[in-house]
Structures are given as structure tokens and as C-alpha cells.
Amino acid sequence: MSRTFRSLSFVASNTVEAQASRDALIRIYGNTEPTSADVIVALGGDGFMLQTLHDTMNSGKLIYGMNRGSVGFLMNDFSVEGLPQRIEAAVENEFHPLRMTTQNADGSTSFALAINEVSVFRQSYQASKLRVIVDGRVRLEELICDGLMVATPVGSTAYNLSAHGPILPLEAPLLALTPVSAFRPRRWRGALLPDKVTVVVEVLESDKRPVNAVADHNEVKSVLRVEIAQSEDTTARILSDPGRSWSDRIIAEQFSD
């Protein structure tokens, strides 16, 4: 879908390559403060893109990323030439992150948002022991594992895939519930859930088997209970080149070696 815009803001990770690319683009196209720009151009890797999306949630800002990192799955290819035309022709993706709510061993409560996934992990040498509840119904009375995650379609090709979880098409109204090194039930490989469910993970034997919870890059230590649900009132917006849309990339990932 074609769009017009008046101003661009260039933001970059701290790497030498990303900063040099930002300087080169500013010399050609100028630069506007992020709060006033129509489109924010993020230069870096996937981690920097996630950071930029977190920083701009609910702002209405469109984010166009160009890869100046390593993997760059979330990014478009880098090029100095023709940037306004690329942005005008880009495909827009709008999505809601997950909201993580934790009850912690010290009596506090924590909140965080996740674009990729919410994960719980063992904190010590002993495997975690978890109870898994979906929409108020106990689905796993006891899961012994190194960890467990709830991944969005956006994050399904990230850590979820490394843990042998399923790849989800971006348009799929699904979440992937994926264990990390499940010991009991040994044959359980995870589940696909509607994206409107609420998943609760209760930590069993928390004194003996402490667990941490992570929403993207935000970690909470020594949690007792983790509630995970889609945040319907929070939105992030990203632009991708027509020949390199997120949907295309997710499909291609399923045929890669």
C-alpha cells in the first residue's frame, strides 16, 4: 500500500557500522526528532528493532528497519538509495504484544511487555517444576523442564524455533506454548493456543527450584506465578519491503535448511 510522509527520524544501535550508516542517511535525507517524525528508521540488528518497537508502542509511529546487525530477520536490507520510495511502497504490519504479570518471592508484582515471547527458566542446577493453566483450567499438573515459553507469531522464528517450537504465520491468531528440555512429561512437545487465551504458570517447590521470568529483554528473578495474555490495548507498527514482508520471511523459514 502506497503512503506519503513528511519526515524521517534515524535511530541506530551503538555499533560503528550502524552509527556510520545513520550519519550517511542523515546527510542525504535530513533528520527529525522521533517524537515529530512520521517514520522512524531503525538501523541495527533484531535486538535493536525490538528495543525500538518497545520504545514506540502506542505512539502510532511506523518503524522501518534496515539491517546493520547480524541476523536481521526483522529488518529490511540496507541501502542508502531510494529510501523514501521504499518506505512509501512498504507493507505495514500491526500487532499486539504479550503482557507478562508476575507475582514474586519478595511479595512484589512486576509487569512487562513482550513482542517475541514470555519465558520462564530454571534459576539453579535443578530443573524447574511448573503447573500450566490455560483459561482457568489446569492443562499440566506438573511439568519438569529447564523452561517454558509463550511465543507470538513474530517471535516464533526466534528462541521458540531454537527450542523446536512451531513456526507461526504472522496472520495466524495463535500462540506457541513451547517447553525447553522437558523431562516430565517426556513426550510433551508443546501446544498451539488461540491468541486470546490467558496462560498462567505456577512455580512448584519455588524455594528448592527457583525460576526467573523474561519478557523479551526484561527479566524478573524468583517468580512464584506468571500470567501471560495478549495486550489488546497496546500496538506496535512495523514496515517491511513488499518482497521481504514478515509473512514471506516466516514462510521461507519453514523451507530453509
Give catalytic status of residue 248 as yes or no. no
Closest CA to 156 of 145, 141, 143, 172: 172
Mark the binding-site residues, compressed into ranges. 46-47, 116-117, 146, 154, 157-162, 218
Mark the binding-site residues for NAD(+), compressed into ranges. 46-47, 116-117, 146, 154, 157-162, 218
Closest CA to 22 of 56, 31, 76: 31
Closest CA to 63 of 117, 118, 115: 115
Pairwise CA distance, residues 43 & 46, whole Å:
10
Contact 46/65 with Cβ under 8 angstroms? no
Torsion angles phi and psi, residue 251, rounded to 5: -65, -45
Closest CA to 58 of 229, 234, 216: 234
Helix (H, G, I), strand (E, B) or coil at 149: strand
Contact 135/117 with Cβ under 8 angstroms? no
The amino acid sitting at 37 is A
Contact 157/73 with Cβ under 8 angstroms? yes
- According to DSSP, residue 3 is labeled -
Say which of 46, 195, 216, 241 is annotated catalytic: 46
What are the residue numbers of the active site? Answer: 46
